[in-house]
Structure 1
Amino acid sequence: MAKNNLLPFCHLLQSVCYRTFLIGKTHRIASVSLLSLLPLVANAEALSLQQAVDKAINQDDWLISSQQKENAIRALAQGVTALPDPKINVGLLNMPTDSFDFNQEAMTQFSVSISQMFPAGDTLRLAGEKYATQGDQMPLMRDNRRAMLAMEVSNIWLTAYSYEESIKLVKQNRTLFEQLHEAVESGYSSAYGRAKQQDLVRSELELIKLDHRLTQLRQEKENALKKLSQYIFPKMVDHDASDQSITLKNAADPISGTSLNTLTSDALAAHLSQHPLVRIVDVQSNTAQIDKVIAEQKYKPEWGVTLGYGYRGDDLSGKSRADLASIAVSVSVPIFSSRRQDAQVKAASLQVESFISEKQLVLKELMAKYRVLTSDINLLDQRIRLYQTKLLPSYRESAQAMLNAYTSNDGVFSDVVQARIATLNAHIELLNISIERFKRLAELNYVMTQSEGVKLK
């Protein structure tokens, strides 16, 4: 029976099963810290999972685009607070058309005036706040994007890792089948051998089936690495990824923290309220509240001031005429537009209420996701313990018993083969369960993400 090289990995997983980890405000779930111990060797470079996540984040074009959009929005926020440009009017007034003599009539004058409008209430200040609040969404969206990238890259990386470890397990068992085949071949060719021809054919068939299984696993691994290349290795798609290797470092579990089930509903809701998705809804709600206040400003009048100066020439007798100065104030009277303004205020109020409901919806979805993931992790823990303590030892004992019975001429070769294949499948199943648990931890890490970039009012 092959030496079980998967056990150190399983023991490490089992130690993590009992502990998980709310670390600081960013709530880094232990999966990221632990999985950083798993290096991916690609293009002769040892790359841990945490390094892969960092590379994916640093190379993400969406994050760069988001930063540029934020800069544009904040630039607009500074511009919209300025008053409208003043208007200058220059004119020649009351020119007599019979002679076009500037000095003929006393009312003829050269006029220069400047007028300035003032929007209603605090419209300008509120417009600047609205754009600034819209800009506050972008850091939160980037936080959510980083958390999603971490989850997606972790899932792809773990998939590639599971195929790599499965390949190792199949190779180890293929070596055992080769030794078994040699023993059967030797027994069949020996004059005193007890091996039958069907045993020899069966052993050759199993070797071929293992080779096919290896080819299939290599194909799946290469596909996973190709998919991973879109995040961290853009040039890898032009090369054969089947030679890439993923290995596990031997390291003690560095994780410590609280249990998965220690958070009460209130504590969980308070924690999830800092999730980027929830805070994005908060920002959108703030924007809607500002829209409501802006709509209310339209009940107030707009003001305008006009300053004018009129130059007059001397009269026909040569006496000078006094120049003229004028000042005027204009104000809008929002009477006929009240129905439209009432509708705008009501619509803005309903929009605010809709965001309050949407926030509760997002919180409920995250809380449900948290409960599903923690339940899955606990059940996967039970399955891992069942495999480690009962199933794998039973499979090994069964395989050894079948081999002993066959060597003592008290069993059939097909039972030996089936027992060994069942043992291999059990090891691979345990590996897959362990990898699935890590994937659940990566999803839990996303659910428990907190954003610190924006302080909401």
Structure 2
Amino acid sequence: MKQCLNTSVLTLLMGIAVAIPAWGEEDGLELSQAIAIAQARDPWLSGSQYTQDALEAEATSAGTLPDPVVSLSAANLPVDTFDTGQEGMTQFSVGITQMFPRGDTLALLERQKRQLGRQHPFMRQDRKAKVAATVSQLWLEAYQSQQTIMLIEKDRDLFEQLVDVTQINYASALGAARQQDVIRAQLELIRLDDRLTSLNQQMEASKQLLSEWIGQEAVSQPLVSELPELTLAMPKLAQASTQLSRQEAGQVLVRHPAVKALDMEIEAVKTGIDLAYQKYRPEWSVMAKYGYRDADPQGNERADLFTAGVAFDLPVFTQKKQDKEVVAATARAESIKTDKALLLRNMLAKLEQSKVKLIRLNERMALYNKRLIPQLNEQAEASLEAYNNDDGDFAEAVRAYIDELDTKIEFLNIAVARQQLIAAINYYLAGIE
């Protein structure tokens, strides 16, 4: 009877595969689909387009002369009679005044608005890359929980049958089945149930975060069962022998859309410096006025009057006004340049960190796939064989198969973490065409 028990146990536990199985062929939500949905329904992209359209319209407006001012007046009316012909100075006049801003202010304002507008295509590219990276992280987290659940549920069925076998053999008082073997099998089953509860919680939490980007309807369907294989935008980064110099990395990162957007902002701020210098120039206005005079009391016609003139201010007190505005504009430009330097330094450090992690994960995957999982499988078989030959413990045999399951789960975690790293690295390489 013991041989029967051992054969049953061997049949059950040998059902655990050595490598990660295919986990089904049913359709589900793919990572590429999730990214496309998230980008298509991202309101920030629409808002950015509206802002760019507004800046383009403002640029045309800013480069246009201000509207002329028309004046109508009745001048020098005698207050005793209000007779328009009594005094020769009395006149009805209509005038027009046109103001001309300082120097090249109009052209510079138009240029600055267009430069700010040209930021937004780069900002949208950066946003799409960020959305792709964020959705990839969340999708892969949900995928990791889903596939871990499937691995455990597959082995849970085996342990349920194992509990039944040990209970039957213990109740029949045949073979070597002991009460502690029954308890051990039940305990492992309870532990698996606890892990399943925790994993379901993690999967549901990840999917709720994912629903912010793709909606509740899309996230309600299961994910595909096959782990997507993301491609590095710069494949040589995954090679341990590749030494990417800081200069080479910098050349890649300066083409990143976030950096290009800052470049356009720097150009706009530099135009602001030129605008500040225009304050040293006078602001001009041109005036023309036509005055109508009524006939004198004797009926003689009086000549009408025409007036023309110019007016301008004199920016002579510049120390506390124009000088300070130039200083402020220059400091603002240097501040944006500092932001660019900090962004590049941060991206460079994260790119180097991700590169090192990716190389080590590749090494771990190779180690697990070629050595660790096969050896754990051999250990599990050896433990069971020892128990069959009355030279081992039932708990050790079960523990060996639990270790194999844990190792397969860890291998899945490594595979998912590798894809998450590739998604993160591809964000930093978004400037590569």
Q: SS at the partner of 1:335?
A: coil
- The question of whether the paired residues in 2 share the 8 Å contact of 1:88 and 1:114 is answered with yes
**Which residue is 1:274 aligned to?**
255
The answer as to whether partners of 2:365 and 2:415 remain within 8 angstroms in 1 is yes
**Counterpart in the other structure of 1:231:** 213
- 1:26 match: none
State whether residues 19 and 369 of structure 2, in contact with CA within 8 Å, keep that contact through their aligned partners in structure 1.
Answer: no
Tell me, which stretches of 5 or more residues in structure 1 are unaligned? 10-37, 453-457
Paired residue for 1:397, among 371, 378, 381? 378
What is the alpha-carbon distance in structure 1 between the residues aligned to residue 26 and residue 53 of structure 2?
36
Structure 1, 251-260 or 363-372: larger mean CA deviation: 251-260
Contact map agreement 1:140 1:451 (CA 8 A) in 2: no
Identify which of 135, 141, 147 aligns with 1:165: 147
After TM superposition, give the deviation of residue 322 of structure 1 in Å. Answer: 1.5
Query: For 1:2, which of 7, 15, 21 is the aligned residue?
Result: 15
Return the match for 2:236 from 256, 259, 266: 259
Moved more, 196-205 or 113-122: 196-205
Distance in 2 (CA, whole Å) between partners of 1:305 and 1:192 is: 116
Correspondence for 1:69 among 51, 72, 78: 51
Structure 1's 107 and 451: CA in aligned 2 closer, same or farther, altered over 3 A? farther
The alpha-carbon deviation at position 155 of structure 1 amounts to: 0.8
Q: Does the 8 Å contact 1:92/1:108 carry over to 2?
A: yes
Q: How many angstroms apart in 1 are the aligned matches of 2:144 and 2:134? A: 15
What SS does the corresponding residue of 1:305 show, helix, strand or coil?
A: strand
The partner residue of 1:286 within 255, 267, 280 is 267
Could you tell me which residue of structure 2 aligns to residue 346 of structure 1? Answer: 327
Q: Distance in 2 between matches of 1:394 and 1:51?
A: 38
Secondary structure of the equivalent of 2:430? coil
Measure the CA separation in 2 of the matches of 1:108 and 1:217. 94
Aligned partner of 1:248 among 197, 208, 226:
226
- 1:60 shift after superposition: 1.2
Structure 2 residue identity aligned to 1:109: Q
User: What is the aligned-residue identity percentage?
Assistant: 38
Q: Which moved more, 1:422-431 or 1:228-237?
A: 228-237
Cα distance in 2 for residues equivalent to 1:248 and 1:150: 19
Q: Are the structure 2 counterparts of residues 269 and 255 from structure 1 closer, same or farther at C-alpha, using a change threshold of 3 Å?
A: closer
CA distance in 1, matches of 2:66, 2:152: 75
Report 1:126-141 matches (<5 A). 126-141=108-123
**Do the aligned residues in 1 keep the contact of 2:234 with 2:429 (CA within 8 Å)?**
no
Specify the SS of the correspondent of 1:121: coil
Q: Which amino acid aligns with 1:445?
A: N
| Cα separation, partners in 2 of 1:383 and 1:83, compared to 1, 3 Å | same
Alignment of 1:156 onto 2:138 = yes
Deviation at 1:88, TM superposition (A): 1.4
Given candidates 316, 325, 338, the residue that maps to 2:306 is 325
Question: 2:222 is aligned with what amino acid?
Answer: Q
**Aligned residue identity for 2:363:** Q
Give the partner amino acid of 1:371: E
The 1:40/1:78 distance shift into structure 2, 3 A limit, reads farther
**Does the 8 Å contact 1:163/1:217 carry over to 2?**
yes
Match of 2:321, SS? helix
Q: Between Structure 1 and Structure 2, how many residues are aligned? A: 416
Q: What SS does the aligned partner of 1:328 have?
A: strand
1:130 CA displacement? 1.6
**Is 2:291 the counterpart of 1:310?**
yes
Q: Which residue of 1 aligns with 2:350?
A: 369
Shift of 1:399: 0.8
Matches within 5 A, 1:108-147: 108-147=90-129
Asked if the contact 2:233–2:426 (Cα under 8 Å) also holds between the matched residues in 1, the reply is no
Letter in 1 for 2:379: S
1: CA distance, partners of 2:432 / 2:410: 37
Change (3 A) 1:304 1:39: farther
Give the secondary structure class of the aligned counterpart of 1:327: strand
Alignment of 1:168-207 (within 5 A): 168-190=150-172, 192-207=174-189
Correspondent of 2:410 among 429, 432, 450: 429
What amino acid is the match of 2:290?
Answer: Y
Partner of 2:34: 52
Deviation at 1:277, TM superposition (A): 2.0
Unaligned runs of 5+ in 2: 1-13
What letter matches 1:170 in structure 2? I
SS at match of 2:72: strand
CA contact (8 A) 2:103 2:278 kept: yes
After the TM superposition, list the runs of 4 or more consecutive aligned residues in structure 1 that deviate by more than 6 angstroms.
251-257
The TM-score normalised by the length of structure 1 is 0.84
- Please state how far the C-alpha of 1:89 moved relative to its aligned partner: 1.5
Residue 257 (structure 1) shift? 6.3
- Counterpart in the other structure of 1:446: 427
Cα RMSD of the aligned pairs, angstroms, is: 2.6
Match of 2:390, SS state, is: coil
Contact 2:230 2:423 in 1 (8 A): no
Amino acid at match of 1:225: K
DSSP 3-state at the match of 2:320: helix
Residues 1:92 and 1:253: Cα distance change in structure 2 (over 3 Å): closer
CA offsets 1:217-274 (integer angstroms, 9 cap, x no match): 222222222221221133478xxx5x8354117x999889641136443232112112
User: How far off is 1:283 after superposition?
Assistant: 1.8
The two structures have a TM-score, normalised by structure 2, of 0.89
One-letter amino acid of the counterpart of residue 151, structure 2 = L
- Aligned-partner SS, 1:259: helix
CA separation in 2, counterparts of 1:120 and 1:253?
56
8 Å contact 2:230–2:422 — kept in the other structure?
no
Q: Which residue of 2 aligns with 1:101?
A: 83
Asked if structure 2 preserves the Cα contact closer than 8 Å seen for 1:40 and 1:48, the reply is no
Q: Secondary structure at the match of 1:83?
A: coil
Q: Give the superposition deviation at 1:403.
A: 0.4
1:297 maps to what in 2? 278
SS of alignment partner, residue 333 of structure 1? coil
User: Counterparts of 2:149 and 2:235 in 1: how far apart (Å)?
Assistant: 35
Match of 1:30 in 2: none
- Measure, in 1, the Cα distance between the counterparts of 2:76 and 2:321: 42
Residue 290 of structure 1 deviates from its aligned partner by: 1.0
* Partner in structure 2 of residue 31 of structure 1: none
Deviations 1:36-78 (A, max 9, x none): xx9995xxxx321011001011111222222222222222222
